[in-house]
Amino acid sequence: MAERHVSMAQHTSWRVGGPAEYYCKPGSRDELIECLQSVGAGVPIHFIGRGSNLLVRDGGVAAALIAVHDALTDFEELGDGRIYAGAGLACALVARRCVRNRLGPAEFFAGIPGTVGGALTMNAGAFGGETWNQVESVEVINRQGEVTVRYPDEYQVAYREVSLIEPREEWFIGGTFRFTENYDTSPEKVKALVNQRKESQPLGLPSCGSVFRNPPGDHAARLIEAAGLKGHVIGGAVVSDKHANFIINTGTATAADIENLIKHVQATVKREFDVELVREVHIIGEAA
């Protein structure tokens, strides 16, 4: 089922990256289990959605990358303000479906560019909301294909960070979320938030979304702009003129260009303001 040596430039939102040793795109939960069971015991596994928030280095990655955005797209209303959403479902769809059914607060999901699995993994948030504030339980799967239900008290959850208190090798495949019923919101509000994103962020261009976490009491974009880095170029990578916390592939960037620009931004902000910018984006693989 898994393909060998697949370029990740085809499967990441930055449109860069060397080959993955194994790449698997299951079409169902059964195929996902088959894929997991076929991966050798010593081979690292990474779950990805549509490849946002991920930079694969140019030399590729000696691992199995499993794209779940076709396999885990369930959405189910469970009653009492609760819904189930699969890890491969786009967060924007969660927002629209919840708002349509007057469940909230859910409109913030419209501001998260990735899938539910990624939102669970990093406690993604937007417009003042965060994923794990709404989590009732999660489903996870291990390398053997065994599914377990876990609860928030089994995790340490912080700003853009989630980890099991007792670490295990497993991955999110879905979650049950609890919202308030008859919530006072509307599709127009979601549309307004989406339009706000379009006006303030360089959507439609190859990027990963926000590159850095906001430091306490401040915004990464403000610091980067104040450091004079808007429009700064390394190779084919540029700090967006529209939103300084976005790095754009202008069409010729390599993963090395992007990583070097990330490091340059961090070093400059540290020198100018003595603030350590922490990456949101995950970087995997080897340099070319």
All domains of the chain in start order, with CATH: 3-67 (3.30.43.10), 75-188 (3.30.465.10), 202-284 (3.90.78.10)
Q: What is the pLDDT of residue 57?
A: 98
Residue of 21, 107, 170, 280 with catalytic role: 280
Give yes or no: 160 in active site.
yes
Residue type, 122: M
Give yes or no: 276 in active site.
no
pTM of the complete model = 0.92
pLDDT at 244 over 90: yes
Residue of 160, 240, 259, 279 with catalytic role: 160
Residue of 52, 207, 210, 240 with catalytic role: 210
pLDDT tens sequence across 159-214: 999 999 999 999 999 999 999 999 987 777 777 877 877 788 888 899 999 999 99
- What span, in angstroms and rounded, lies between the C-alpha atoms of 172 and 41? 19
How many other CB atoms are there within 10 angstroms of residue 15's CB atom?
16
- One DSSP character per residue, 140-207 reads EEETT--EEEE-GGGEEEETTEEEESS--SEEEEEEEEE-EET-S--HHHHHHHHHHHHHHS-TTSS-
Q: What is the pLDDT of residue 192?
A: 80
pLDDT tens sequence across 64-123: 999 999 899 999 999 999 999 999 999 999 999 999 999 999 999 998 988 999 999 999
- What span, in angstroms and rounded, lies between the C-alpha atoms of 147 and 29? 11
pLDDT mean over 17-44 = 94
Give yes or no: 280 in active site.
yes
Average pLDDT, the chain: 94
